[in-house]
Amino acid sequence: MQNKIAQIAAKIKAGGNNVVFTGAGISTESGIPDYRSQGGIWDKFRPVYFDEFMSSKDARAEYWRRWVELYQGIAAAQPNPAHLALARLHDLGLLQAVVTQNVDGLHQESGLPDEKIVELHGNTCRIRCMGCRQIMAVEDVQQRLTAGDPAPECQCGGYLKPDTISFGQSMPVAEVERAVGLSRGSDFFLVVGSTLLVQPAAHMPIYAKDNDAFLSIINLSETPCDRMCDVLIREKAGLALQEIVKAVEKG
Ligand SMILES: [Zn+2]
């Protein structure tokens, strides 16, 4: 693995546009389950689709019951060595942006500034009104749920909803465009902990390759982009990224 680490470190230090793409695999070491994997939460429960959320109070109540359980785990989770390694690359001036499929907010918690993070699937630590689009304090919403309000609503009458992309909800246009732009303009593109099976994630490494970017993947399982990638590391994200940062700092 050391040779691969050295290759990646050299590319990062080359001073081009370094873009990192992260998926659930970067957060499993923080104790956050991969919701879409087998045995994940969506295997146990049928998902609540966006249309149901907007049209049925029962569906909203069900969604919020699940969120309470999910959010407990996320609120207790800490950034792990993989998140911290990426924040370190940013501190060193070597990271252009992180595009993430995760909704756990752990990149922000690791110290990476908001403007460096593109959240393709939103953020479950943020609550938004589906009417006036305002962001609500998560603590207030939690209090209302605890007090027995099964599906809190905004003062404007709109439904409050965790600010994530639900099943059946369209992708956020601005974020996807930004992610595509970053991928197309990258010189070094690193995938961490994503199987790259869903769109638009699946396309980002291809955009990067179109720009002749150096493509690296750190993931425990196979991805459809393994064959086109320059360096592939089958290892836990925390270990691999720590080694990469060590190599970057040493040279
Ligand atoms: Zn509102």
* Cα dist from 100 to 19, 66, 77, 107, 232, whole Å: 11, 22, 17, 9, 19
Spacing, Cα 137 to ligand 1 middle (Å):
13
What is the token pair recorded at 194? 């994503």
Q: How confident is the model at residue 114 (pLDDT cuts 50, 70, 90)?
A: very high
Between CA 8 and CA 95, with CA 181 as vertex, the angle to 5 degrees is 35
Q: How confident is the model at residue 43 (pLDDT cuts 50, 70, 90)?
A: low
Contacts of 33 (CB under 8 A, 6+ apart): 40, 41, 73
* Cα dist from 202 to 85, 107, 223, 224, 244, whole Å: 24, 21, 9, 8, 24
Instruction: Report yes or no: 132 and 154 within 8 Å, Cβ to Cβ.
Output: yes
Q: How far apart are the first and last CA of the chain?
A: 17
Residues 239 and 251: their CA atoms lie apart, in Å, by: 19
- pLDDT greater than 60 at residue 127: yes
- Arithmetic mean of pLDDT, 157-165: 96
Q: How confident is the model at residue 44 (pLDDT cuts 50, 70, 90)?
A: low
Residues 121 and 100: their CA atoms lie apart, in Å, by: 8
- Arithmetic mean of pLDDT, 88-97: 98
| Weakest-pLDDT range from 37-41, 86-90, 154-158, 205-209 | 37-41
Residue 123: the pLDDT is 95
Residue 199: the pLDDT is 86
Spacing, Cα 138 to ligand 1 middle (Å):
14
- Residue of 83, 90, 107, 121 with catalytic role: 121
Spacing, Cα 130 to ligand 1 middle (Å):
7
Spacing, Cα 237 to ligand 1 middle (Å):
39
Residue 248: the pLDDT is 97
Of 31 and 36, the one with more pLDDT: 31
Mean pLDDT value across the chain: 94
90 classed as catalytic: no
Residue 35: the pLDDT is 63
